[in-house]
Amino acid sequence: MKQNNFYLIGDVDIHNIYEYKIYIQNVKPIVEKYGGEYLVRGGEIIEKEINLWKPKRFVLVRFPDKSSALKFYNSKEYKPYKNIRLKNATSTITFAEGFH
């Protein structure tokens, strides 16, 4: 039987890697606290059919459900690191339902 999951899909264009490293080093435990698991975090991107989107740095996190995903994103623990991301990168963050 397929399990219904919720995914955070991010594209991040980092402008200040030195400050952004604070985000990278601290967010993973918060994601995990809310049941999230990184499936993709940076790495090589091979572009095919990029008519709508040209990603810079791809991030994919699987959460067990919508509630957990949104609780993570809106949590007090994540807020200071979210502000670091917003100040040091341009991002697109979306959430989508999926099956695993």
Q: Is residue 80 part of a domain?
A: yes
Question: Is the pLDDT assigned to residue 2 strictly greater than 70?
Answer: no
Q: Is residue 17 part of a domain?
A: yes
pTM of this structure: 0.91
- The predicted structure's pLDDT at residue 89: 97
Q: What is the CATH number of the domain that holds 71?
A: 3.30.70.100
Q: Is residue 49 part of a domain?
A: no
Question: Is the pLDDT assigned to residue 99 strictly greater than 90?
Answer: no
Supply the mean pLDDT for the chain.
94
What does the pLDDT average to over 76-90? Answer: 98
**Do the beta carbons of residue 13 and residue 85 sit within 8 Å?**
no
What Rg value do the Cα atoms of the chain yield, rounded? 14
Q: Is residue 82 part of a domain?
A: yes
**Number of domains comprising the chain:** 1
pLDDT tier at 100 (50, 70, 90 boundaries)?
Answer: low
What does the pLDDT average to over 12-22? Answer: 96
Q: Is residue 50 part of a domain?
A: no
Question: Is the pLDDT assigned to residue 4 strictly greater than 70?
Answer: yes
* Tokens encoding 99: 């099956």
pLDDT tier at 51 (50, 70, 90 boundaries)?
Answer: confident
Full residue range of the structural domain in which residue 86 is found: 4-44+55-99
Sheet with 4-14, side-by-side order of all strands: 37-41, 58-63, 4-14, 89-99
